[in-house]
Amino acid sequence: MNNKINMSALLTLSNLHGTGVAYTSRPSYDSNPWLSNEEHQSNYLTGREILIADQLPMLVHQASVTDKLTSLFELVGLEIPDNIFTFDDKYSYECLIQQLAYKDGNKILFQYPHSEDVLSNRHYGVDKDLFIALNNKSRLAEWTNNKYLPDREVINIEDFSSAMSKWSFPFVLKIGDDLPTSGGNGVMICDNNNDLELAKMKISNDQNVSKTIIIERKIEVRMNYSVQYAYSKSKGLIFLGATEQLTDTAGHYQGNHKLEHIPQAVVQAGKEIMQTAVDKGYLGVAGFDLLVDKNENIYAIDLNFRQNASTSLLMLAPMLKSGHHKFFTYISPCDNKLFFNTIFKYVQKGILFPIAYYDGDWHSDDGIKSRFCGIWHGGSKDYLEKSEIQFLKEIDTSLINN
């Protein structure tokens, strides 16, 4: 294995979880309307934590560890580690989980819970019931000790229409059951009646799986912090850092900027939440979305007791060039060859650090788009933003052809 990762990263997953644990970040193959069921997105996610897994055995889709990733890693002096177990479909994925657990004696650290048909609950790296409870948005008050909460109401879905009559715009609707969500799915921002009607349609379509809805006052945000913490018995509770989470008008994720100056009150709020989970038995990484309004009030709107997009950005910070750091994911809008060559060019320039590459051309089917995530680094915010704009122009064939 390449020891540079172990020596250079701020922290790794194996630092936290030790031996006898294997990791998978893939959502279950079971259907979940609140996670992207797009197969290639789910497969792409399996490569995102390769560089921070360290010694932890890791399940990765074969298309995420092709020669394309090898070439990108070579540009920054890295290698694909040898702790990778690859799969290519549902059957091989679930067989690997069962082999690593039942035959090899590992606990499995899941990014998202799987059914007991896939793995017995007693083989989870983090207690399954606790893991699900901590990530349930309707139980936010428990994990914040009734602090840092916007006005909110948790209702049964059959009471949704009557409850809505008591609320005025703007507000946010969220699913409130045990199904995991990601990337803003399951969150519906309602600024007007049109937004509400669209939300009602979505809720109506999925009411067979979501029994609880959260109505939450929309906060007029001055700053959106994604704060990250980690805990292990040997290292204690660690503040990893914070990023500014970027979202579009619909609340969907648009990347993260690393922040150097975080108000102590924000750090402390996150620490209190993390300590509550640790007291319940949680072990590992967690990231919390904490909003600050114009009056400096702090609101916890989402708690993710798992790795997220900020985790690699913060853990790999010592390996990045000084200056501004931004993490983002790109899906090829052009042919995969142009997409890869453009990424290669910017990594070679030393301003784009590769994290994961999902190789659409690995598949025999035509039209599978490649995906990439990385960190812009090594310059000012203005310089890197201009570089990213130029990068996007170069992969946008509609602009190239015009």
Mark 50-83 as b/e (b = at least 16 C-beta within 10 Å): bbbbbbbbbbbbbbbbbebbeebbebbebebbeb
Residue 292 token pair: 């600050």
In the 3-class helix/strand/coil scheme, how is the chain assigned residue by residue?
A: CCHHHHHHCCCCHHHHHCCCEEEECCCCCCCCCCCCCCHHHHHHHHHCCHHHHCCCCEEEEHHHCCHHHHHHHHHCCCCCCCCEEEECCHHHHHHHHHHHHHHCCCEEEECCCCCCCCCCHHHECCCHHHHHHHCCHHHHHHHCCCCCCCCEEEEEHHHHHHHHCCCCCCEEEEECCCCCCCCCCCEEEECCHHHHHHHHHHHHHCCCCCCEEEEEECCCEEEEEEEEEEEECCCEEEEEEEEEEEECCCCCEEEEEEECCCCHHHHHHHHHHHHHHHHHCCCEEEEEEEEEECCCCEEEEEEECCCCHHHHHHHCHHHCCCCCCEEEEEECCCCHHHHHHHHHHHHHCCCEEEEEEECHHHCCCCCCCCEEEEEECCCCHHHHHHHHHHHHHHHCHHHHHC
Q: Which residues pair with 375 in a beta bridge?
A: 327, 353
- Burial (CB < 10 A; 0-12, 13-18, 19+), residue 400, is exposed
Residue 242 token pair: 């914070």
* Whole-angstrom distance, CA of residue 154 vs CA of residue 146: 14
| Selection from 326, 324, 313, 173 nearest residue 250 by Cα | 173
The catalytically annotated residue of 26, 48, 152, 306 is 306
Tell me, yes or no, if 152 is annotated catalytic.
no
Just list the catalytic residues: 306
